[in-house]
Structure 1
Amino acid sequence: MKKIAYVLIFALLVPYLFVTRPTVASAKATYRGAYSNLVDAKSRKEVKKALLDAGLSEKNVNAWLSDVKDYNKTIKNTGLVKKGFKKLLTKNPQYDENKIMELWNKKYPDFIGYNCRITAFDLMKDKISVKAEAKVNASNLFMDQDALKHAPAKKVTRKQKHAFETLYSTLNTAYTTDVDTHIKKQKKAWKQNEVKISGTKASLITVVFHSSFGENENELFIGHAGILVPTKDKKLLFVEKLSFSLPYQVLKFDNRKQLKNYLMGMYDTSWGQEEAKPFIMENTKTAL
Protein backbone atom coordinates (compact mmCIF):
# COMPACT_ATOMS: atom_id res chain seq x y z
CA MET A 1 0.00 0.00 0.00
CA LYS A 2 2.90 2.34 0.76
CA LYS A 3 4.31 1.86 -2.75
CA ILE A 4 0.93 2.45 -4.38
CA ALA A 5 0.40 5.62 -2.35
CA TYR A 6 3.85 6.87 -3.32
CA VAL A 7 3.23 6.24 -7.02
CA LEU A 8 -0.18 7.93 -6.93
CA ILE A 9 1.21 11.00 -5.20
CA PHE A 10 4.08 11.09 -7.69
CA ALA A 11 1.69 10.80 -10.63
CA LEU A 12 -0.41 13.68 -9.34
CA LEU A 13 2.50 15.97 -8.53
CA VAL A 14 4.72 15.23 -11.52
CA PRO A 15 2.90 17.31 -14.15
CA TYR A 16 3.06 20.45 -11.99
CA LEU A 17 6.67 19.94 -11.00
CA PHE A 18 7.78 19.20 -14.52
CA VAL A 19 6.28 22.20 -16.24
CA THR A 20 6.56 24.98 -13.68
CA ARG A 21 10.04 24.56 -12.23
CA PRO A 22 12.10 27.63 -13.22
CA THR A 23 15.66 27.30 -14.34
CA VAL A 24 18.56 29.01 -12.64
CA ALA A 25 19.47 30.88 -15.81
CA SER A 26 18.65 34.55 -16.22
CA ALA A 27 16.62 36.04 -19.04
CA LYS A 28 19.87 36.84 -20.84
CA ALA A 29 21.15 33.26 -20.62
CA THR A 30 22.55 31.42 -23.60
CA TYR A 31 20.26 29.54 -25.96
CA ARG A 32 18.46 26.76 -24.09
CA GLY A 33 16.63 25.27 -27.03
CA ALA A 34 13.23 25.62 -28.66
CA TYR A 35 10.02 23.61 -28.57
CA SER A 36 7.01 22.81 -30.71
CA ASN A 37 3.68 21.11 -30.08
CA LEU A 38 3.33 20.13 -33.75
CA VAL A 39 0.13 22.07 -34.32
CA ASP A 40 1.11 23.18 -37.82
CA ALA A 41 1.77 20.97 -40.84
CA LYS A 42 5.24 22.43 -41.47
CA SER A 43 6.61 21.45 -38.04
CA ARG A 44 5.08 17.97 -38.33
CA LYS A 45 6.70 17.52 -41.74
CA GLU A 46 10.10 18.61 -40.39
CA VAL A 47 9.96 16.23 -37.44
CA LYS A 48 8.61 13.35 -39.51
CA LYS A 49 11.51 13.68 -41.93
CA ALA A 50 14.04 13.59 -39.07
CA LEU A 51 12.42 10.48 -37.58
CA LEU A 52 12.35 8.69 -40.93
CA ASP A 53 15.93 9.75 -41.71
CA ALA A 54 16.92 8.20 -38.36
CA GLY A 55 15.53 4.88 -39.56
CA LEU A 56 12.26 4.72 -37.64
CA SER A 57 9.32 2.92 -39.19
CA GLU A 58 7.02 5.10 -41.30
CA LYS A 59 4.07 3.12 -39.94
CA ASN A 60 5.08 3.93 -36.36
CA VAL A 61 5.81 7.57 -37.15
CA ASN A 62 2.47 8.03 -38.91
CA ALA A 63 0.63 6.41 -35.99
CA TRP A 64 2.40 8.76 -33.56
CA LEU A 65 1.54 11.82 -35.69
CA SER A 66 -2.08 10.66 -35.75
CA ASP A 67 -2.03 10.54 -31.93
CA VAL A 68 -0.49 14.02 -31.81
CA LYS A 69 -3.11 15.51 -34.11
CA ASP A 70 -5.95 13.82 -32.22
CA TYR A 71 -4.61 15.06 -28.88
CA ASN A 72 -4.15 18.64 -30.10
CA LYS A 73 -7.60 18.68 -31.68
CA THR A 74 -9.22 17.19 -28.57
CA ILE A 75 -7.76 19.84 -26.25
CA LYS A 76 -8.45 22.58 -28.85
CA ASN A 77 -4.74 23.52 -28.93
CA THR A 78 -5.05 24.92 -25.42
CA GLY A 79 -1.78 26.67 -24.52
CA LEU A 80 0.11 25.12 -27.44
CA VAL A 81 2.63 26.73 -29.78
CA LYS A 82 0.49 27.39 -32.83
CA LYS A 83 3.29 27.55 -35.40
CA GLY A 84 6.83 26.24 -35.66
CA PHE A 85 9.25 26.26 -32.72
CA LYS A 86 9.30 28.72 -29.84
CA LYS A 87 12.43 29.50 -27.81
CA LEU A 88 12.62 28.10 -24.29
CA LEU A 89 12.58 30.99 -21.85
CA THR A 90 13.76 31.01 -18.24
CA LYS A 91 10.73 28.90 -17.32
CA ASN A 92 9.85 25.65 -19.02
CA PRO A 93 6.52 25.57 -20.92
CA GLN A 94 3.44 25.81 -18.74
CA TYR A 95 0.01 24.45 -19.64
CA ASP A 96 -3.49 24.78 -18.20
CA GLU A 97 -3.87 21.18 -17.12
CA ASN A 98 -7.33 21.63 -15.60
CA LYS A 99 -8.73 22.95 -18.88
CA ILE A 100 -6.90 20.29 -20.88
CA MET A 101 -8.22 17.47 -18.69
CA GLU A 102 -11.75 18.84 -18.91
CA LEU A 103 -11.62 18.77 -22.70
CA TRP A 104 -9.89 15.38 -22.83
CA ASN A 105 -12.30 13.66 -20.44
CA LYS A 106 -15.24 14.95 -22.43
CA LYS A 107 -14.11 12.87 -25.42
CA TYR A 108 -12.29 10.05 -23.61
CA PRO A 109 -13.90 9.45 -20.19
CA ASP A 110 -12.29 6.00 -19.82
CA PHE A 111 -8.95 6.62 -21.53
CA ILE A 112 -6.33 8.62 -19.63
CA GLY A 113 -4.18 9.19 -22.72
CA TYR A 114 -0.66 8.12 -23.61
CA ASN A 115 2.35 9.06 -21.51
CA CYS A 116 6.07 9.44 -22.17
CA ARG A 117 6.95 5.74 -21.84
CA ILE A 118 4.19 4.57 -24.17
CA THR A 119 4.99 7.28 -26.71
CA ALA A 120 8.73 6.54 -26.79
CA PHE A 121 8.21 2.78 -26.97
CA ASP A 122 5.55 3.05 -29.67
CA LEU A 123 7.95 4.94 -31.94
CA MET A 124 10.78 2.44 -31.41
CA LYS A 125 8.99 -0.82 -30.62
CA ASP A 126 10.35 -2.62 -33.68
CA LYS A 127 13.90 -1.55 -32.76
CA ILE A 128 13.76 -2.94 -29.21
CA SER A 129 14.29 -6.58 -28.28
CA VAL A 130 14.43 -8.33 -24.91
CA LYS A 131 14.98 -11.78 -23.50
CA ALA A 132 11.87 -13.94 -23.80
CA GLU A 133 12.22 -15.11 -20.19
CA ALA A 134 13.19 -11.69 -18.83
CA LYS A 135 12.32 -10.99 -15.20
CA VAL A 136 9.78 -8.19 -14.97
CA ASN A 137 8.52 -6.00 -12.13
CA ALA A 138 5.69 -3.91 -13.59
CA SER A 139 4.44 -2.58 -10.24
CA ASN A 140 4.95 1.06 -11.24
CA LEU A 141 3.37 0.60 -14.68
CA PHE A 142 -0.25 0.09 -13.64
CA MET A 143 -1.33 3.43 -15.15
CA ASP A 144 0.50 2.61 -18.39
CA GLN A 145 -1.27 -0.75 -18.48
CA ASP A 146 -4.63 0.95 -17.94
CA ALA A 147 -3.89 3.37 -20.80
CA LEU A 148 -2.95 0.55 -23.16
CA LYS A 149 -6.05 -1.42 -22.16
CA HIS A 150 -8.47 1.45 -22.84
CA ALA A 151 -6.68 3.05 -25.79
CA PRO A 152 -8.78 3.64 -28.92
CA ALA A 153 -6.21 1.71 -30.97
CA LYS A 154 -4.22 -1.40 -30.09
CA LYS A 155 -0.64 -0.30 -29.55
CA VAL A 156 1.24 -3.47 -28.70
CA THR A 157 1.16 -7.21 -29.26
CA ARG A 158 1.66 -9.61 -26.36
CA LYS A 159 5.34 -9.89 -27.25
CA GLN A 160 5.72 -6.11 -27.44
CA LYS A 161 3.92 -5.69 -24.11
CA HIS A 162 6.51 -7.99 -22.56
CA ALA A 163 9.30 -5.90 -24.11
CA PHE A 164 7.63 -2.71 -22.82
CA GLU A 165 7.40 -4.02 -19.27
CA THR A 166 10.94 -5.42 -19.39
CA LEU A 167 12.41 -2.15 -20.63
CA TYR A 168 10.63 -0.09 -17.98
CA SER A 169 10.80 -2.68 -15.22
CA THR A 170 11.26 -1.46 -11.65
CA LEU A 171 14.51 -2.65 -10.05
CA ASN A 172 15.59 -3.28 -6.50
CA THR A 173 18.66 -1.21 -5.64
CA ALA A 174 20.92 -0.23 -2.78
CA TYR A 175 20.17 2.25 -0.01
CA THR A 176 22.62 4.91 -1.16
CA THR A 177 22.71 8.36 -2.76
CA ASP A 178 25.66 7.32 -4.94
CA VAL A 179 24.39 7.72 -8.50
CA ASP A 180 27.11 5.50 -10.01
CA THR A 181 25.85 2.58 -7.94
CA HIS A 182 22.38 2.95 -9.41
CA ILE A 183 23.65 3.43 -12.97
CA LYS A 184 25.57 0.14 -12.71
CA LYS A 185 22.45 -1.55 -11.37
CA GLN A 186 20.34 -0.28 -14.28
CA LYS A 187 22.89 -1.33 -16.88
CA LYS A 188 23.29 -4.77 -15.31
CA ALA A 189 19.55 -5.40 -15.30
CA TRP A 190 19.18 -4.45 -18.95
CA LYS A 191 22.14 -6.66 -19.84
CA GLN A 192 20.71 -9.64 -17.96
CA ASN A 193 17.35 -9.15 -19.67
CA GLU A 194 19.11 -8.77 -23.03
CA VAL A 195 17.52 -5.39 -23.71
CA LYS A 196 18.85 -4.22 -27.07
CA ILE A 197 18.13 -1.21 -29.29
CA SER A 198 19.38 -1.45 -32.87
CA GLY A 199 18.70 -0.55 -36.47
CA THR A 200 18.22 3.18 -35.98
CA LYS A 201 20.13 6.43 -35.48
CA ALA A 202 17.50 7.44 -32.95
CA SER A 203 18.23 6.99 -29.25
CA LEU A 204 15.94 6.12 -26.39
CA ILE A 205 16.45 8.64 -23.58
CA THR A 206 15.29 7.62 -20.11
CA VAL A 207 15.32 9.48 -16.80
CA VAL A 208 15.76 7.02 -13.96
CA PHE A 209 14.61 7.81 -10.42
CA HIS A 210 15.61 6.31 -7.10
CA SER A 211 12.81 5.88 -4.58
CA SER A 212 13.56 4.89 -1.00
CA PHE A 213 11.15 3.55 1.59
CA GLY A 214 13.86 2.92 4.15
CA GLU A 215 17.12 1.04 4.43
CA ASN A 216 15.70 -2.25 3.17
CA GLU A 217 13.36 -1.06 0.42
CA ASN A 218 14.88 0.88 -2.48
CA GLU A 219 13.90 0.92 -6.13
CA LEU A 220 14.86 2.36 -9.49
CA PHE A 221 12.09 3.26 -11.94
CA ILE A 222 11.97 5.08 -15.25
CA GLY A 223 9.99 8.25 -14.65
CA HIS A 224 10.39 9.78 -18.08
CA ALA A 225 11.29 8.68 -21.60
CA GLY A 226 11.70 10.27 -25.00
CA ILE A 227 13.32 9.79 -28.39
CA LEU A 228 16.42 11.70 -29.49
CA VAL A 229 17.12 12.04 -33.22
CA PRO A 230 19.84 13.90 -35.15
CA THR A 231 18.98 16.35 -37.92
CA LYS A 232 20.86 17.15 -41.12
CA ASP A 233 21.88 20.56 -39.78
CA LYS A 234 23.62 18.81 -36.86
CA LYS A 235 20.95 19.70 -34.32
CA LEU A 236 19.07 17.28 -32.08
CA LEU A 237 15.33 16.76 -31.78
CA PHE A 238 13.88 15.34 -28.57
CA VAL A 239 10.39 13.86 -28.89
CA GLU A 240 8.36 13.49 -25.70
CA LYS A 241 4.89 13.38 -24.17
CA LEU A 242 4.98 15.24 -20.87
CA SER A 243 2.39 13.10 -19.07
CA PHE A 244 -0.88 11.27 -19.66
CA SER A 245 -2.77 14.56 -19.72
CA LEU A 246 -0.10 17.06 -20.76
CA PRO A 247 0.99 17.74 -24.35
CA TYR A 248 3.37 16.27 -26.85
CA GLN A 249 6.53 18.31 -27.26
CA VAL A 250 9.41 18.21 -29.70
CA LEU A 251 12.43 20.16 -28.52
CA LYS A 252 15.33 21.33 -30.63
CA PHE A 253 18.80 21.41 -29.05
CA ASP A 254 22.32 22.18 -30.25
CA ASN A 255 23.88 19.35 -28.24
CA ARG A 256 23.35 16.75 -25.53
CA LYS A 257 24.44 19.17 -22.82
CA GLN A 258 21.38 21.31 -23.53
CA LEU A 259 19.20 18.19 -23.41
CA LYS A 260 20.69 17.21 -20.06
CA ASN A 261 20.17 20.71 -18.65
CA TYR A 262 16.56 20.67 -19.80
CA LEU A 263 15.79 17.24 -18.35
CA MET A 264 17.56 17.83 -15.05
CA GLY A 265 15.82 21.19 -14.75
CA MET A 266 12.53 19.33 -15.09
CA TYR A 267 13.18 16.28 -12.97
CA ASP A 268 16.01 16.99 -10.53
CA THR A 269 13.78 18.08 -7.67
CA SER A 270 14.67 17.71 -4.02
CA TRP A 271 12.17 17.03 -1.25
CA GLY A 272 14.74 16.25 1.43
CA GLN A 273 14.58 12.46 1.20
CA GLU A 274 17.62 10.25 1.36
CA GLU A 275 17.46 9.45 -2.33
CA ALA A 276 19.97 9.72 -5.17
CA LYS A 277 19.65 12.32 -7.89
CA PRO A 278 17.90 11.10 -11.05
CA PHE A 279 20.17 10.10 -13.90
CA ILE A 280 19.77 10.03 -17.67
CA MET A 281 20.46 7.03 -19.90
CA GLU A 282 20.88 7.03 -23.66
CA ASN A 283 19.84 3.62 -24.94
CA THR A 284 21.19 0.95 -22.58
CA LYS A 285 24.79 1.94 -21.99
CA THR A 286 25.61 5.62 -21.83
CA ALA A 287 24.65 7.93 -19.01
CA LEU A 288 24.49 11.61 -20.03
Structure 2
Amino acid sequence: MKKAILVWTAIMAAGLLALAGCGKKETGQAGEYTNLADKESRKAVVAELEACGVTKEQTATLEKWAEDYHEITAKSYSYPKGFTALPKDGMDYTSILMDDSAKPYSYLQVLNCRLTAFNLIKNQLTTAGTGNDTDLWLMFDIDAIDTMPEYQLTKEERADFLTLFNQVSVEGTSTLEEHEQKIQEAWKERDIQISGDKLSLISVYLHAPEDQARFVGHTGVLADTKDGLLFVEKYSAMDPFQATYFKDRAELKEYLLARPDLYGDKTELAPIIMENGNVME
Protein backbone atom coordinates (compact mmCIF):
# COMPACT_ATOMS: atom_id res chain seq x y z
CA MET A 1 0.00 0.00 0.00
CA LYS A 2 2.79 2.36 0.98
CA LYS A 3 4.59 1.59 -2.29
CA ALA A 4 1.43 2.32 -4.28
CA ILE A 5 1.06 5.70 -2.55
CA LEU A 6 4.67 6.59 -3.38
CA VAL A 7 4.17 5.66 -7.04
CA TRP A 8 0.96 7.69 -7.24
CA THR A 9 2.68 10.70 -5.62
CA ALA A 10 5.50 10.49 -8.18
CA ILE A 11 3.00 10.39 -11.05
CA MET A 12 1.13 13.42 -9.70
CA ALA A 13 4.37 15.36 -9.25
CA ALA A 14 5.43 14.60 -12.81
CA GLY A 15 2.05 15.74 -14.06
CA LEU A 16 2.28 19.02 -12.19
CA LEU A 17 5.76 19.65 -13.58
CA ALA A 18 4.52 19.01 -17.09
CA LEU A 19 1.66 21.45 -16.60
CA ALA A 20 4.04 24.04 -15.20
CA GLY A 21 6.27 23.60 -18.23
CA CYS A 22 3.36 24.13 -20.61
CA GLY A 23 2.34 27.27 -18.76
CA LYS A 24 5.86 28.62 -19.01
CA LYS A 25 5.89 28.21 -22.78
CA GLU A 26 2.57 30.04 -23.08
CA THR A 27 3.87 33.11 -21.26
CA GLY A 28 7.39 33.09 -22.66
CA GLN A 29 10.79 34.09 -21.33
CA ALA A 30 13.90 35.87 -22.64
CA GLY A 31 15.03 34.42 -25.95
CA GLU A 32 11.64 32.90 -26.80
CA TYR A 33 9.15 33.93 -29.47
CA THR A 34 5.68 33.15 -30.76
CA ASN A 35 4.02 33.79 -34.11
CA LEU A 36 0.61 34.33 -32.47
CA ALA A 37 -0.58 31.30 -34.42
CA ASP A 38 -2.56 29.74 -31.58
CA LYS A 39 -5.21 31.11 -29.25
CA GLU A 40 -3.14 30.67 -26.07
CA SER A 41 -0.13 32.64 -27.30
CA ARG A 42 -2.34 35.40 -28.71
CA LYS A 43 -4.08 35.65 -25.35
CA ALA A 44 -0.72 35.89 -23.54
CA VAL A 45 0.62 38.63 -25.83
CA VAL A 46 -2.65 40.56 -25.69
CA ALA A 47 -2.58 40.51 -21.88
CA GLU A 48 0.94 41.95 -21.88
CA LEU A 49 0.01 44.71 -24.34
CA GLU A 50 -3.16 45.67 -22.50
CA ALA A 51 -1.20 45.89 -19.24
CA CYS A 52 0.94 48.50 -21.03
CA GLY A 53 -2.03 50.63 -22.07
CA VAL A 54 -3.04 49.18 -25.44
CA THR A 55 -6.84 49.15 -25.69
CA LYS A 56 -8.99 46.07 -26.17
CA GLU A 57 -10.11 47.44 -29.53
CA GLN A 58 -6.50 47.62 -30.69
CA THR A 59 -5.60 44.14 -29.43
CA ALA A 60 -8.77 42.70 -31.00
CA THR A 61 -7.57 44.03 -34.34
CA LEU A 62 -4.15 42.43 -33.81
CA GLU A 63 -5.77 39.11 -32.90
CA LYS A 64 -8.00 39.19 -35.99
CA TRP A 65 -5.08 39.96 -38.28
CA ALA A 66 -2.91 37.23 -36.72
CA GLU A 67 -5.70 34.66 -36.87
CA ASP A 68 -6.45 35.45 -40.52
CA TYR A 69 -2.77 35.33 -41.43
CA HIS A 70 -2.35 31.93 -39.81
CA GLU A 71 -5.45 30.66 -41.60
CA ILE A 72 -4.10 31.44 -45.08
CA THR A 73 -0.48 30.32 -44.49
CA ALA A 74 -0.76 27.27 -42.21
CA LYS A 75 -0.58 24.82 -45.13
CA SER A 76 2.88 26.05 -46.11
CA TYR A 77 4.52 26.46 -42.69
CA SER A 78 4.49 24.56 -39.41
CA TYR A 79 4.10 27.19 -36.70
CA PRO A 80 5.38 26.33 -33.21
CA LYS A 81 2.66 26.34 -30.57
CA GLY A 82 3.13 28.82 -27.75
CA PHE A 83 6.60 30.24 -27.13
CA THR A 84 9.76 28.57 -28.37
CA ALA A 85 13.48 29.42 -28.45
CA LEU A 86 14.72 31.76 -31.17
CA PRO A 87 16.72 29.89 -33.82
CA LYS A 88 20.45 30.52 -33.50
CA ASP A 89 20.79 31.24 -37.21
CA GLY A 90 17.89 33.71 -37.33
CA MET A 91 14.34 33.55 -38.58
CA ASP A 92 13.60 31.85 -41.90
CA TYR A 93 10.12 32.38 -43.30
CA THR A 94 11.02 31.83 -46.96
CA SER A 95 8.81 28.75 -47.27
CA ILE A 96 5.64 30.61 -46.29
CA LEU A 97 3.04 31.00 -49.01
CA MET A 98 -0.24 32.87 -48.73
CA ASP A 99 -3.35 31.23 -50.12
CA ASP A 100 -4.37 33.88 -52.65
CA SER A 101 -7.80 32.27 -53.03
CA ALA A 102 -8.68 32.94 -49.37
CA LYS A 103 -10.85 35.96 -48.61
CA PRO A 104 -8.41 37.60 -46.11
CA TYR A 105 -5.63 37.56 -48.72
CA SER A 106 -6.91 40.77 -50.30
CA TYR A 107 -5.99 42.82 -47.23
CA LEU A 108 -3.22 40.70 -45.70
CA GLN A 109 -0.94 40.94 -48.74
CA VAL A 110 -0.18 44.57 -47.85
CA LEU A 111 -0.14 44.31 -44.05
CA ASN A 112 3.35 45.43 -43.07
CA CYS A 113 5.27 46.34 -39.93
CA ARG A 114 4.28 50.03 -39.99
CA LEU A 115 0.53 49.40 -40.22
CA THR A 116 0.81 46.82 -37.43
CA ALA A 117 2.88 48.98 -35.09
CA PHE A 118 0.69 52.04 -35.66
CA ASN A 119 -2.42 50.08 -34.71
CA LEU A 120 -0.82 49.28 -31.34
CA ILE A 121 0.75 52.67 -30.59
CA LYS A 122 -1.78 55.16 -32.05
CA ASN A 123 -3.74 55.82 -28.85
CA GLN A 124 -0.54 56.79 -27.03
CA LEU A 125 0.79 58.87 -29.92
CA THR A 126 0.50 62.59 -30.64
CA THR A 127 2.19 64.54 -33.42
CA ALA A 128 2.09 67.96 -35.06
CA GLY A 129 0.07 66.35 -37.85
CA THR A 130 2.31 67.87 -40.51
CA GLY A 131 3.05 64.73 -42.53
CA ASN A 132 2.67 64.60 -46.30
CA ASP A 133 1.22 61.82 -48.44
CA THR A 134 3.62 62.25 -51.36
CA ASP A 135 6.30 60.13 -49.66
CA LEU A 136 7.08 57.32 -52.11
CA TRP A 137 8.36 55.10 -49.31
CA LEU A 138 4.82 55.08 -47.90
CA MET A 139 2.78 54.82 -51.09
CA PHE A 140 1.54 51.28 -50.42
CA ASP A 141 0.72 52.14 -46.80
CA ILE A 142 -1.24 55.21 -47.89
CA ASP A 143 -3.13 53.27 -50.54
CA ALA A 144 -4.06 50.62 -47.95
CA ILE A 145 -5.24 53.23 -45.45
CA ASP A 146 -7.30 55.06 -48.06
CA THR A 147 -8.86 52.07 -49.83
CA MET A 148 -9.15 49.16 -47.39
CA PRO A 149 -11.61 49.15 -44.46
CA GLU A 150 -9.23 47.03 -42.36
CA TYR A 151 -6.77 49.95 -42.21
CA GLN A 152 -9.17 52.88 -42.18
CA LEU A 153 -8.02 55.75 -39.95
CA THR A 154 -9.57 58.99 -38.80
CA LYS A 155 -8.27 62.19 -40.40
CA GLU A 156 -6.15 62.90 -37.32
CA GLU A 157 -4.79 59.33 -37.16
CA ARG A 158 -3.86 59.44 -40.84
CA ALA A 159 -1.95 62.68 -40.27
CA ASP A 160 -0.18 61.11 -37.28
CA PHE A 161 0.78 58.06 -39.33
CA LEU A 162 2.35 60.19 -42.05
CA THR A 163 4.09 62.49 -39.59
CA LEU A 164 5.52 59.52 -37.72
CA PHE A 165 6.73 57.55 -40.73
CA ASN A 166 7.61 60.20 -43.32
CA GLN A 167 11.18 59.88 -44.51
CA VAL A 168 13.87 62.09 -42.97
CA SER A 169 16.11 64.13 -45.24
CA VAL A 170 19.85 63.66 -44.66
CA GLU A 171 20.90 65.94 -47.50
CA GLY A 172 24.32 67.48 -46.95
CA THR A 173 25.45 64.84 -44.46
CA SER A 174 27.88 61.95 -44.77
CA THR A 175 28.28 60.27 -41.38
CA LEU A 176 26.20 57.97 -39.21
CA GLU A 177 26.29 60.46 -36.36
CA GLU A 178 24.89 63.21 -38.59
CA HIS A 179 22.08 60.90 -39.69
CA GLU A 180 21.23 60.10 -36.07
CA GLN A 181 21.06 63.81 -35.32
CA LYS A 182 18.80 64.46 -38.32
CA ILE A 183 16.34 61.78 -37.19
CA GLN A 184 16.23 63.13 -33.64
CA GLU A 185 15.71 66.66 -34.95
CA ALA A 186 12.86 65.43 -37.18
CA TRP A 187 11.08 63.90 -34.18
CA LYS A 188 11.34 67.21 -32.32
CA GLU A 189 10.23 69.29 -35.32
CA ARG A 190 7.25 66.99 -35.90
CA ASP A 191 6.45 67.10 -32.17
CA ILE A 192 6.13 63.32 -32.00
CA GLN A 193 5.25 62.22 -28.47
CA ILE A 194 4.47 58.77 -27.07
CA SER A 195 2.87 58.85 -23.64
CA GLY A 196 3.48 56.46 -20.76
CA ASP A 197 6.59 54.52 -19.84
CA LYS A 198 5.52 50.94 -20.57
CA LEU A 199 5.17 51.00 -24.35
CA SER A 200 7.61 52.41 -26.89
CA LEU A 201 8.12 52.38 -30.64
CA ILE A 202 11.23 50.73 -32.05
CA SER A 203 12.13 51.97 -35.53
CA VAL A 204 14.90 50.82 -37.85
CA TYR A 205 15.85 53.68 -40.15
CA LEU A 206 17.50 52.54 -43.37
CA HIS A 207 19.62 54.68 -45.68
CA ALA A 208 18.46 55.56 -49.19
CA PRO A 209 21.51 57.34 -50.69
CA GLU A 210 19.74 58.00 -54.00
CA ASP A 211 17.07 60.00 -52.15
CA GLN A 212 19.45 61.44 -49.55
CA ALA A 213 17.03 60.18 -46.94
CA ARG A 214 16.41 57.81 -44.06
CA PHE A 215 13.15 55.85 -43.96
CA VAL A 216 11.57 53.43 -41.49
CA GLY A 217 12.34 50.06 -43.05
CA HIS A 218 11.17 48.12 -40.02
CA THR A 219 9.29 48.89 -36.83
CA GLY A 220 7.50 47.28 -33.90
CA VAL A 221 6.34 48.06 -30.38
CA LEU A 222 8.30 47.26 -27.24
CA ALA A 223 6.34 46.44 -24.08
CA ASP A 224 8.07 46.61 -20.70
CA THR A 225 6.46 43.67 -18.89
CA LYS A 226 7.00 41.80 -15.65
CA ASP A 227 8.44 38.93 -17.70
CA GLY A 228 10.92 41.12 -19.58
CA LEU A 229 10.92 43.20 -22.74
CA LEU A 230 8.37 41.98 -25.29
CA PHE A 231 8.90 43.10 -28.88
CA VAL A 232 5.81 42.74 -31.09
CA GLU A 233 6.26 43.03 -34.85
CA LYS A 234 5.00 42.00 -38.25
CA TYR A 235 8.23 40.52 -39.58
CA SER A 236 7.46 41.80 -43.09
CA ALA A 237 4.46 42.25 -45.35
CA MET A 238 4.53 38.63 -46.47
CA ASP A 239 5.93 37.18 -43.23
CA PRO A 240 4.16 36.41 -39.94
CA PHE A 241 3.56 38.29 -36.75
CA GLN A 242 6.16 37.70 -34.10
CA ALA A 243 6.33 38.51 -30.38
CA THR A 244 9.71 37.94 -28.74
CA TYR A 245 10.96 38.33 -25.18
CA PHE A 246 14.39 39.90 -24.62
CA LYS A 247 16.32 40.31 -21.39
CA ASP A 248 17.50 43.81 -22.30
CA ARG A 249 17.70 46.35 -25.12
CA ALA A 250 21.19 45.24 -26.13
CA GLU A 251 19.81 41.79 -26.93
CA LEU A 252 16.94 43.32 -28.93
CA LYS A 253 19.34 45.52 -30.89
CA GLU A 254 21.55 42.54 -31.70
CA TYR A 255 18.50 40.59 -32.91
CA LEU A 256 17.38 43.43 -35.18
CA LEU A 257 20.79 44.14 -36.68
CA ALA A 258 21.25 40.44 -37.50
CA ARG A 259 18.53 40.65 -40.17
CA PRO A 260 20.23 40.37 -43.58
CA ASP A 261 17.37 42.15 -45.37
CA LEU A 262 18.28 45.43 -43.65
CA TYR A 263 21.49 45.81 -45.61
CA GLY A 264 22.03 47.00 -49.16
CA ASP A 265 25.18 47.92 -51.07
CA LYS A 266 28.29 49.68 -49.83
CA THR A 267 26.89 53.14 -50.59
CA GLU A 268 24.47 52.81 -47.67
CA LEU A 269 25.41 53.71 -44.13
CA ALA A 270 24.44 51.27 -41.37
CA PRO A 271 20.85 50.97 -40.08
CA ILE A 272 19.93 53.25 -37.18
CA ILE A 273 17.73 51.85 -34.43
CA MET A 274 15.58 54.31 -32.51
CA GLU A 275 13.43 53.88 -29.41
CA ASN A 276 10.87 56.61 -29.80
CA GLY A 277 12.95 59.71 -30.60
CA ASN A 278 16.21 58.48 -29.10
CA VAL A 279 19.01 56.41 -30.61
CA MET A 280 19.12 52.96 -29.03
CA GLU A 281 22.61 52.49 -27.64
Tell me the TM-score normalized by structure 2. 0.81
* 1:113 to 2:110 alignment: yes
Distance 1:134 1:275, change over 3 A: same
Q: 1:86 aligns with which of 84, 87, 104?
A: 84
Matches of 1:76 and 1:55, distance apart in 2: 31
Alignment-mate amino acid for residue 272 of structure 2: F
CA contact (8 A) 1:174 1:218 kept: yes
Distance 1:106 1:59, change over 3 A: closer
Pair member with larger Rg? 2
* 1:202 to 2:195 alignment: no
Aligned to 1:287: 280
Matches of 2:276 and 2:88, distance apart in 1: 29
Matches of 1:267 and 1:204, distance apart in 2: 21
Distance 1:230 1:105, change over 3 A: farther
Q: 1:126 aligns with which of 118, 123, 126?
A: 123
Aligned to 1:153: 150
Q: 1:219 aligns with which of 213, 226, 241?
A: 213
* Identity percentage of aligned residues: 33
CA contact (8 A) 2:131 2:166 kept: no
Aligned to 1:172: 169
Distance 1:271 1:59, change over 3 A: closer
Could you tell me how far 1:157 is from its partner in structure 2?
1.1
Could you tell me how far 1:140 is from its partner in structure 2?
0.7
Stretches of structure 1 that go unaligned for 5 or more consecutive residues are 1-30
What SS does the corresponding residue of 2:115 show, helix, strand or coil? Answer: helix
What SS does the corresponding residue of 1:240 show, helix, strand or coil? Answer: strand
What SS does the corresponding residue of 2:258 show, helix, strand or coil? Answer: helix
| Alignment coverage as a number of residue pairs | 252
Superposition pairs of residues 1-288 of structure 1, within 5 angstroms? 33-76=31-74, 78-97=76-95, 100-101=97-98, 103-104=99-100, 106-108=102-104, 110-111=106-107, 112-134=109-131, 138-174=135-171, 176-199=173-196, 201-213=198-210, 217-233=211-227, 235-266=228-259, 270-288=263-281
Could you tell me how far 1:123 is from its partner in structure 2?
0.7
CA contact (8 A) 1:128 1:195 kept: yes
Could you list the structure 1 runs, at least 4 aligned residues long, displaced by more than 6 angstroms after superposition.
none
CA contact (8 A) 1:268 1:277 kept: no
Distance 1:70 1:135, change over 3 A: closer
Q: CA RMSD in A?
A: 2.3
Stretches of structure 2 that go unaligned for 5 or more consecutive residues are 1-28
CA contact (8 A) 2:52 2:223 kept: yes
